[in-house]
Structure 1
């Protein structure tokens, strides 16, 4: 429940952008790309990491930022940024791309009106929700 609340509020960014009306000079799509670059770097650090769960949680934090920034962008900006994400991911090693593929598939599924369901996946070709915890103690990113 706490994780879902964090996804909705992204640590109070929604309050700043909504009620206060803060708008970044570079635009929401630029912030989404920057946060996604951090998500990608963290995905690459999981492989061989002696403490991968901490990195996985950090990756989920940055992913929440990506989702928030995309939600603030226009539909055309979102589509353009999603196309750029594929190019961004291509720069990383196979193990990082493999971890990011289900997350991006999940984002596209939801964008197109689909649902990841209550458990977060995998559904529809492996699409998954990225959260920083695992109910059974073993995060799918670490499998």
Structure 2
């Protein structure tokens, strides 16, 4: 696991700052928003999705598929999972698969979310809401 889940990050910050009740509130509110999103997207349940990044400096696409990593579990609460084949292939390289540009078909997911490096790959309660709001129209179209 390269990146801790956003909930763990909020919990740690709550402990460090002696604001554990605030941290619990942030986590609960964010989970509530994800539950609302899942209710809006019933067709999303059971679909596969993979978060990917484009690293402009190297012109590389990276498929993120660490089943325990905070960056690849972003969509799990709304009812999706990572494609098993990608998880297996990425397991040999620390949860990251770097296909060549001509092999972008390696993403066998129902949905591939492509974000610039530094987007949702380091999720927080705020970036999660921002990023999901940004792609909501596409998610709704796919979930129909």
Whose Rg is larger? 2
Considering fraction of residues, name the structure with more helix.
1
TM-score normalised by structure 2 residue count? 0.28
The TM-score normalised by the length of structure 1 is 0.28
Q: More strand per residue: 1 or 2?
A: 2
